Chains A and B, each alone.
Chain A
Amino acid sequence: MLRQVGSRLLRLVPVLFLITLLTTAMVDLMPGSPALAMLGDQATPEQVARLNEQLGLDRPFHVRYWDWLTAALGGDLGTSLRMGLPVTTAIAQRFPVTLEIAVLSVVLALLVAVPLALVAGARADGRLDRTATALSSALLSLPGFAAAVLLIYLLAVRARLFPVGGWVPFTEDPIGNLRSAVLPALSLALMEAAVYFRLLRGDVIRTLQEKFVLSARARGLPPGYVLFRHVLRPSLFSLTTVAGLSMGRLLGGAVIVESLFALPGIGFLAIQSVPFQDIPAIQGIVVVVAVTYVLVNIAVDVGYSVIDPRIRAR
């Protein structure tokens, strides 16, 4: 187990090296320059050149990367060109927003998908099963932004239950914070729920054919009890992986949902940084996202051994 975690972490090294190298190279690949993006079209070439020099962007590529790398290894991800504050601070400010949305949407999706999949799987081919399966396959084809716009129309514009956008920090107003988080989280949860439902439904149907389920039924245990106490746990494996993976993905920032609802999260920060060629910010985000993703994946693997004692023995 430990060795497995170690080798996964080791694999992260070449990946991180290559992606940061590529992000540094972005300045050379993109048309214009960060200074031009900051000063605007009216700036004279001399002004642009001077600012580029101040930012250290006139130095050759390998020097820039080396400087960034040595600082980053010491925990300093540089200063954002656009915001003028340390990248670590900028990311730390925004991460809680992304985290809240990610956790909320996975929880919402599980709350809908797990009971529905159990009940639908218990009566495979029944009316509920067919409706839920059809709905989930339609939801899987609904692009995230279309789902978000549809939800805004129904729940914010028509029903006026939630604000159309914007973010209320938890410390200011906990209720308002939850209200501003529900619609974005729900937009993401729709597709997640469809995926979880399909997966768990299949696994539940498979588990129901096991002998221990037959024996539980033969002992006269109530169907609901068998479903929740005997069938659910052994059916959870693939769902755990997939839910873990989507958590890792969502922690990278839901770019579309965050920019549509104007949420100050990681994804919105990333997308705002691109037009300004704010390479330190982009690089910092990419590093943090990649590391988070791998760490969450490892956590999922460890989580397995908690659900399934057989894996611990291996």
Chain B
Amino acid sequence: MSSVMQPAPPTGSAAETPPTASRAARRGAKLPLWVGIGWIAGLALVALLADVLPIAGYDEVVGAPMQGPQLTGEPLGTDAIGRSVLSRIVYGARASMAVGLTAAVLGLVVGGFLGLLAGYFRGVVEATIDILAEVVQAFPPLLFLIALAAALRPSLASLTLALAALIIPSFARMTKGSVVAQSSREFVLAARAMGASHWRIMFREILPNALMSIVAFSVVVMALLIVIEGSLSFLGFGMPMPYPSWGGMVAEAKDRIASHPSLTFIPAFFLFMTVYALNTVGDHLRRRFDVEQSQL
């Protein structure tokens, strides 16, 4: 689905928070920040410790299929072939977090670098990068990912690479925007007058000033990437079987939604909460650095 692909609009950014809205309304509009941070930290911890936690293997049949907690002793029951839902949620968290984080970092580094070049040198460099970005963005995004993942054979690594490739243009454009804004500032002119090299101006003068807003953006991008990973797995083009992914779990369970709705809604809830938490933290960061920039 395409609407999943666009980075969510800057919810609650300075542009959208009208002057009359009070702090209370802004806070009320979001998940409390500590819930967001807590959820992400808890999930990251669980994902890291998945192998040592006292849970069943993700591919291990632990009891009769589709039973609740009473019969199996599994806190979240069992899935259609008797595997532990809890364990699959935990290992699914690992897949979501690993793919989302790695792809976001890759996108940040590569896209950020390209954006820095484009925003600093402008001209031919900028035009080339713009056209490349347009090529990637003209593809229907899911089709782009599916084709790329198929070309690379499905695996955690190829999925991550494909997602990073998809997101690089967004990072490049975002970085370019803030680099262009910084380039006309006095301290850049001063550095230039002192005879600093391009390299030094780009990395020591401009980048530190543009960095935090790019990092804030990457948190929101990570939420988006987790949605995309879920969507791909939902369509059957994500993580190779039998490794669990939340999107894949929803897809597996959706045909039994009439008799066993919880099998569909548990992974969907975790996906939703994770995305919500990341969006909350990302928005908070973005708002914070918007304010700092306006005070300068």
Contacts and interface: CB of A to CB of B under 8 A. Distances in A.
A249 B142 CA distance: 12
A242 B8 CA distance: 12
A48 interface: no
Interface stretch (A84-92, A139-147, A174-182, A218-226): A139-147
A146 B140 contact: no
A153 B131 contact: no
Contact of A141 (B17, B135, B265, B275): B275
B11 interface: yes
A199 B16 contact: yes
Interface stretch (A50-58, A255-263, A304-312): A255-263
A195 interface: yes
A141 B223 contact: yes
A282 interface: yes
A149 B254 contact: yes
Most buried by B among A15, A23, A199: A15
Interface string B16-27: 111111101100
Interface stretch (B48-56, B61-69, B199-207, B229-237): B229-237
Given A124-B25, A140-B8, A255 B2 contact: yes
A293 B137 CA distance: 10
Contacts of B21: 124-125, 205
B257 A256 contact: no
Nearest to B274: A141
Interface in B120-152: 131, 134-135, 138-140, 142-143, 146-147, 150-151
A212 B171 CA distance: 40
Given A124-B21, A141-B275, A30 B9 contact: no
A286 B139 contact: yes
B81 interface: no
B181 interface: no
B38 interface: no
User: What does DSSP make chain B's interface, helix, strand, loop or mixed?
Assistant: helix
Interface in B243-284: 247, 250, 254, 257-258, 261, 264-265, 268, 271-272, 275-276, 279
Interface residues of A, number: 65
A257 B1 CA distance: 6
Contacts of B9: 195, 198-199, 242
Contacts of A274: 143, 146-147, 150, 237
Contacts of A290: 138-139
Contacts of B193: none
Contact of B140 (A140, A202, A252): A252
Nearest to B17: A202
Contact of A255 (B143, B151, B227, B265): B143
Nearest to B151: A29
A309 to B, nearest CB: 25
Given A15-B138, A146-B272, A256-B234, A282 B143 contact: yes
A83 interface: no
Contacts of B272: 141-143, 146
15 contacts: A18-B131, A26-B147, A130-B25, A144-B3, A145-B250, A146-B230, A150-B268, A157-B257, A157-B258, A199-B9, A205-B20, A254-B3, A256-B1, A259-B235, A267-B140
Given A153-B265, A252-B2, 8 more contacts: A134-B29, A143-B271, A145-B1, A195-B9, A199-B16, A209-B20, A250-B2, A275-B150
Interface of B: 1-6, 8-9, 11-12, 15-22, 24-25, 28-30, 131, 134-135, 138-140, 142-143, 146-147, 150-151, 153, 223, 227, 230-231, 234-235, 237, 247, 250, 254, 257-258, 261, 264-265, 268, 271-272, 275-276, 279
Which 8 pairs, one residue from A and one from B, show the smallest C-beta to C-beta distance?
A: A256-B1, A205-B18, A141-B276, A29-B151, A290-B138, A146-B268, A133-B29, A144-B1
